[in-house]
């Protein structure tokens, strides 16, 4: 429940286990996901897979990874067995080691098999812009997880989608083939959102639910932001799993809401980060999530974008 | 506003950094958390139910070193709470003191977490390490928030009268400008139905505040208290009224405790299976952290020690 001093409105708190990286400074991984989810009424149990001083985009960073034994002990012995916590969802992002990935994948798989209502959101963090930033073994481990588990939503980017399906995506036709191939290879995955695609005909986002494939053109901001993918998956989870008693929206509706909100957050981040000498495109290291609290609770509409954005059927 | 916080992390529940971070973020702070441990949950569930590890000394050293090196002037405030070993306290102290030397305007609050009500819950070697930091030359700590037991450990002997308390605080002010004793021994007041807090600023007589006891099992209150207090003190730093900062902090903490009590099962004790239903309702209290501000006056102010 969220208690509002003025209105005393009460909304039931949802529970998520979020398994991702932790950076002391900045907003990627769990630092990008936790605050937006908490501010939208989620108890976020953050299991950190690493603790780094900052994300690698800064060039230099320090810190360490948690090993598979540590992570599994907390998850299996602690949260699942000893505390018996009932989660509404598990959000899984960057896991650096292949052993951790396999073991955590198995442990979450067991939780999900025990609890048919648990919504597993998996962001298969493999790489971006044509470059893998994990080992080939990690790719295989993700494929295994996707093949054998009931996953509510998977959120690859273009490169990750290509890597998981073996289909190079250049246009709408190959996007469609890639999504169809994904469904063939991983039939237990319920919903797919391909979060950022750069095709001949522009920047788009695509989704697939119950066999229906749709896409929308998304506005392009002339800057690179770290952490956007992690924020995007967290916000999709929030949109797709509403508080008890509320009907979940369709994937398409949820996606439009999230595109619209992320666009507002990125624009504000850019506005607050640019100094007058900056020349676009710029690289923005840290999302201004704390300064977007009003946006996270829907105080402002993205009127311009909402008036234009349309989902187009691809099949 | 950006704050660096070094204390514990629990995956489930709200103590340490998990209790401090969200309220501070709601108040507009970018909170950079350096976690001194990653545990499944806090020890109130029973010691046998705590899984996970402390961050090793070299990991902590390495992480903080990267943070200070990459962001040498980013922090307006420094906060530290539970650290498991003497060595991790020493390392935090070194990095924070170095930062403070380069950025004398940053505000540093140190909560010397050692134990409560006569019971030490860290190793004994931690005590001299905190003493070295608090009474050391040129360390740069602005605020400490011990409870009575921790104050006595730092002082080296029991504090049994208000006049002794006055003397102890006066003596410590030679090293630390602001001391807030988060819970005084109720025997000093012969009143078990209230909690007494001392707010003391160098050069001024200490003020005792009194709040009604909310009887339930709560863990993490000290952590949310120090987080809200550093926010209040930072925002008033040019013209500080410490009693008003503490009063306002207590208002919010009381609200959080009431919401928590009203939505938790009764009769929860250490090790109880109901513990997971009794965590502080940090998320649910999202709109309460701003507090009532000036409108409440100083309703908790009880007594000035002359």
Task: Going residue by residue through chain B, which has 306 residues, state the pLDDT in tens, using 9 for 90 and above.
Answer: 999 999 999 999 999 999 999 999 999 999 999 999 999 999 989 889 999 999 999 999 999 999 999 999 999 999 999 999 999 999 999 999 999 999 999 999 999 999 999 999 899 999 999 999 999 998 999 999 999 999 999 999 999 999 999 999 999 999 999 999 999 999 999 999 999 999 999 999 999 999 999 988 789 999 999 999 999 999 999 999 999 999 999 999 999 999 999 888 777 777 777 788 889 999 999 999 999 877 778 999 999 998
Contact A90, A17 (CB under 8 A): yes
Distance (Å, whole) CA B242 – CA B155: 22
Partners of A189 in the beta sheet? Answer: A151
Distance (Å, whole) CA A35 – CA B13: 15
pLDDT of residue A8: 39
Interface of A with B in 67-96 (CB under 8 A): 70, 73-74, 77-79, 82-83, 85
pLDDT of residue B83: 95
* Residue numbers of the domain that contains A243: 12-313
Closest Cβ–Cβ partner in B39, B67, B288 for A25? B67
pLDDT of residue B162: 96
A121 lies in some domain: yes
Contact B80, B126 (CB under 8 A): no
Distance (Å, whole) CA B34 – CA B224: 16
Residue B299, token pair as written in the block: 């309703």
The label of the residue with tokens 């299976």 reads: B273
Question: How many domains is chain B built from?
Answer: 1
Contact A264, A292 (CB under 8 A): yes
> Which residues of chain A are within 8 Å of residue B40 when distances are taken between CB atoms?
74, 77-79, 82-83
Among A38, A288, A228, A9, which residue's Cα sits nearest to residue B28? A288
Inter-chain contact A51–B52, Cβ cutoff 8 Å?
A: no
Inter-chain contact B66–A60, Cβ cutoff 8 Å?
A: yes
Contact A100, A134 (CB under 8 A): no
Closest Cβ–Cβ partner in B11, B34, B70 for A74? B11
Closest Cβ–Cβ partner in A4, A51, A82 for B287? A4
pLDDT of residue B268: 73
Closest Cβ–Cβ partner in B32, B38, B259 for A48? B38
pLDDT in tens, chain A (315 residues): 455 444 334 568 999 999 999 999 999 999 999 999 999 999 999 999 999 999 999 999 999 999 999 999 999 999 999 999 999 999 999 998 999 999 999 999 999 999 999 999 999 999 988 899 899 999 999 999 999 999 999 999 999 999 999 999 999 999 999 999 999 999 999 999 999 999 987 899 999 999 999 999 998 898 999 999 999 999 999 999 999 889 999 999 999 999 999 999 999 999 999 988 888 889 999 999 999 999 999 888 899 999 999 999 998
Nearest C-alpha in B relative to A40: B283
Distance (Å, whole) CA B251 – CA B130: 29
> Which residues of chain B are within 8 Å of residue A291 when distances are taken between CB atoms?
28
pLDDT of residue A277: 87
> What sign does the CA torsion over B237, B242, B248, B249 have?
positive
Residue A226, token pair as written in the block: 């770290």
Inter-chain contact A2–B284, Cβ cutoff 8 Å?
A: yes
> Which residues of chain B are within 8 Å of residue A51 when distances are taken between CB atoms?
34-35, 38, 55, 59, 63
Residue B12 CB neighbours (<10 A) = 24
The label of the residue with tokens 């959120």 reads: A155
Long-range (24+ apart) CB contacts under 8 A made by B247-251 are B247/B209, B247/B296, B247/B298, B247/B299, B247/B300, B247/B301, B248/B291, B248/B292, B248/B293, B248/B296, B249/B225, B249/B291, B250/B197, B250/B209, B250/B211, B250/B300, B251/B291, B251/B292, B251/B296, B251/B300
- The beta strands (E) that lie in chain A are given as 14-23, 42-52, 63-65, 89-92, 119-122, 127-128, 131-132, 151-154, 189-199, 202-209, 212-217, 223-225, 282-284, 312-313
Inter-chain contact B11–A63, Cβ cutoff 8 Å?
A: no
Q: What are phi and psi of A276, to 5 degrees?
A: -70, -20
Looking at the complex, does the CB of residue A203 fall below 8 Å from at least one CB of chain B? no
> Which residues of chain B are within 8 Å of residue A66 when distances are taken between CB atoms?
38
* Residue numbers of the domain that contains B297: 2-304
Distance (Å, whole) CA B92 – CA B65: 10
Minimal Cα–Cα distance from A169 to chain B, Å?
Answer: 38
DSSP class of residue B157 equals: S
Cα Dmax for chain A = 56
Is 0.80 surpassed by the pTM of this model?
Answer: yes
Q: Calculate the CA A237 to chain-centre distance.
A: 8
Task: Using DSSP bridges, classify how beta strands A14-23 and A89-92 pair: parallel, antiparallel or unpaired.
Answer: parallel
Contact B229, B143 (CB under 8 A): yes
pLDDT of residue A11: 61
Closest Cβ–Cβ partner in B51, B55, B71 for A74? B51
% residues pLDDT > 70 (chain B): 100
Minimal Cα–Cα distance from B59 to chain A, Å?
Answer: 6
A162 lies in some domain: yes
Looking at the complex, does the CB of residue A63 fall below 8 Å from at least one CB of chain B? yes
Contact B284, A13 (CB under 8 A): yes
User: A with B: how many residue pairs have Cβ under 8 Å apart?
Assistant: 138
pLDDT of residue A10: 56
Looking at the complex, does the CB of residue A222 fall below 8 Å from at least one CB of chain B? no
Interface of A with B in 113-172 (CB under 8 A): none
Among A145, A57, A161, which residue's Cα sits nearest to residue A100? A145
Best of B23, B33, B37 to disrupt the A interface (most A CBs within 10 Å) is B33
Closest Cβ–Cβ partner in B30, B66, B283 for A290? B30
Contact B101, B140 (CB under 8 A): yes
Distance (Å, whole) CA B303 – CA B306: 9
Contact B229, B180 (CB under 8 A): yes
> Which residues of chain A are within 8 Å of residue B285 when distances are taken between CB atoms?
3
Task: Using DSSP bridges, classify how beta strands A223-225 and A282-284 pair: parallel, antiparallel or unpaired.
Answer: parallel
Helix (H, G, I), strand (E, B) or coil at B37: strand
Q: Calculate the CA A114 to chain-centre distance.
A: 24
Residue B154, token pair as written in the block: 């730092």
Best of B21, B23, B24, B38 to disrupt the A interface (most A CBs within 10 Å) is B38
pLDDT of residue A6: 42
A255 lies in some domain: yes
CATH of the domain at A185: 3.40.1190.20
Question: How many domains is chain A built from?
Answer: 1
Among A40, A101, A33, which residue's Cα sits nearest to residue A67? A101
- ipTM of this predicted structure: 0.96
Distance (Å, whole) CA A164 – CA A140: 9
Residue A282, token pair as written in the block: 């710029």
Count of alpha carbons within 13 angstroms of residue A86, beta-carbon side: 6
Inter-chain contact A63–B4, Cβ cutoff 8 Å?
A: no
A105 lies in some domain: yes
Interface of A with B in 41-60 (CB under 8 A): 41-43, 45-48, 51-54, 58, 60
Minimal Cα–Cα distance from A154 to chain B, Å?
Answer: 23
CATH of the domain at B204: 3.40.1190.20
Looking at the complex, does the CB of residue A4 fall below 8 Å from at least one CB of chain B? yes
- Cis omega (within 30 of 0) for bond into A281: yes
> Which residues of chain A are within 8 Å of residue B29 when distances are taken between CB atoms?
290
Best of B34, B47, B53, B67 to disrupt the A interface (most A CBs within 10 Å) is B67
> Which residues of chain B are within 8 Å of residue A285 when distances are taken between CB atoms?
none
> Which residues of chain A are within 8 Å of residue B259 when distances are taken between CB atoms?
3
Residue A188, token pair as written in the block: 């237990």
End-to-end CA distance of chain B: 36
Among B6, B271, B157, which residue's Cα sits nearest to residue A82? B271
The label of the residue with tokens 């295989």 reads: A140
A4 lies in some domain: no
Nearest C-alpha in B relative to A70: B52
Residue A64, token pair as written in the block: 């360490």
Nearest C-alpha in A relative to B281: A1
């Amino acid at each position: 429940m969220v208690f509002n001093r003025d209105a005393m409105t009460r909304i039931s708190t949802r529970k998520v286990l979020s398994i991702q990286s932790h950076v002391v400074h900045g907003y990627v991984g769990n630092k990008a996901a936790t605050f937006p989810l908490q501010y939208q009424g989620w108890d976020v149990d953050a299991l950190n897979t690493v603790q780094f001083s900052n994300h690698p985009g800064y060039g230099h960073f320090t810190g360490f990874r948690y090993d598979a034994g540590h992570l599994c002990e907390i998850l299996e012995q602690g949260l699942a067995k000893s505390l018996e916590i009932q989660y509404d969802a598990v959000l899984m992002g960057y896991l650096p080691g292949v052993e951790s990935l396999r073991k955590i994948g198995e442990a979450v798989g067991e939780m999900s098999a025990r609890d048919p209502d648990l919504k597993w959101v998996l962001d298969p963090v493999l790489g971006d812009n044509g470059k893998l930033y994990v080992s080939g073994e990690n790719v295989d481990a993700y494929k295994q997880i996707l093949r054998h588990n009931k996953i509510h939503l998977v959120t690859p980017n273009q490169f990750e989608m290509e890597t998981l399906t073996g289909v190079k995506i250049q246009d709408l036709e190959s996007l469609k083939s890639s999504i169809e191939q994904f469904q063939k290879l991983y039939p237990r995955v319920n919903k797919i959102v391909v979060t950022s695609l750069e095709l001949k005909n522009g920047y788009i986002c695509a989704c697939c639910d119950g066999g229906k494939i749709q896409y929308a053109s998304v506005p392009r901001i002339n800057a690179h932001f770290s952490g956007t993918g992690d924020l995007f998956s967290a916000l999709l989870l929030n949109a797709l799993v509403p508080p008890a008693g509320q009907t979940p929206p369709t994937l398409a509706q949820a996606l439009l809401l999230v595109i619209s909100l992320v666009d507002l957050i990125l624009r504000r981040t850019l506005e607050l980060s640019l100094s007058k000498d900056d020349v676009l495109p710029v690289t923005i290291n840290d999302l201004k999530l704390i300064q977007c609290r009003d946006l996270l609770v829907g105080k402002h509409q993205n009127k311009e974008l909402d008036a234009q954005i349309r989902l187009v059927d691809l099949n | 506003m950006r704050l660096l916080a070094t204390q514990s992390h629990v995956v489930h529940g709200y103590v340490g950094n998990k209790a401090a971070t969200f309220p501070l973020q709601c108040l507009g702070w970018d909170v950079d958390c350096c976690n001194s441990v990653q545990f499944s949950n806090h020890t109130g569930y029973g010691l046998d139910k705590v899984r996970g590890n402390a961050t090793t000394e070299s990991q902590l050293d390495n992480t903080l070193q990267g943070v200070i090196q990459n962001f040498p002037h980013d922090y307006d405030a420094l906060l530290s709470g539970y650290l498991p070993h003497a060595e991790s306290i020493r390392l935090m102290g070194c990095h924070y003191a170095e930062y403070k030397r380069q950025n004398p305007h940053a505000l540093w609050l140190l909560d010397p977490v050692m134990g409560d009500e006569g019971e030490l819950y860290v190793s004994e070697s931690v005590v001299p390490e905190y003493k070295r930091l608090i009474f050391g030359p040129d360390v740069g700590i602005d605020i400490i928030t011990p409870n009575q037991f921790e104050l006595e450990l730092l002082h080296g002997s029991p504090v049994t009268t208000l006049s002794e308390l006055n003397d102890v605080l006066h003596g410590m002010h030679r090293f630390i400008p602001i001391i807030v004793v988060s819970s005084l021994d109720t025997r000093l007041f012969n009143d078990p139905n209230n909690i007494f807090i001392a707010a003391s600023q160098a050069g001024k007589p200490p003020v005792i505040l009194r709040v009604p006891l909310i009887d339930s099992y709560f863990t993490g209150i000290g952590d949310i208290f120090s987080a809200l207090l550093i926010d209040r003190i930072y925002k008033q730093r040019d013209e500080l009224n410490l009693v008003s900062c503490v009063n306002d902090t207590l208002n919010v903490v009381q609200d959080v405790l009431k919401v928590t009590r009203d939505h938790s099962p009764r009769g929860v004790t250490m090790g109880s299976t109901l513990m997971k239903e009794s965590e502080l309702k940090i998320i649910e209290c999202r709109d309460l952290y701003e507090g009532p501000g000036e409108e409440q006056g100083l309703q908790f102010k009880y007594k000035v020690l002359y």
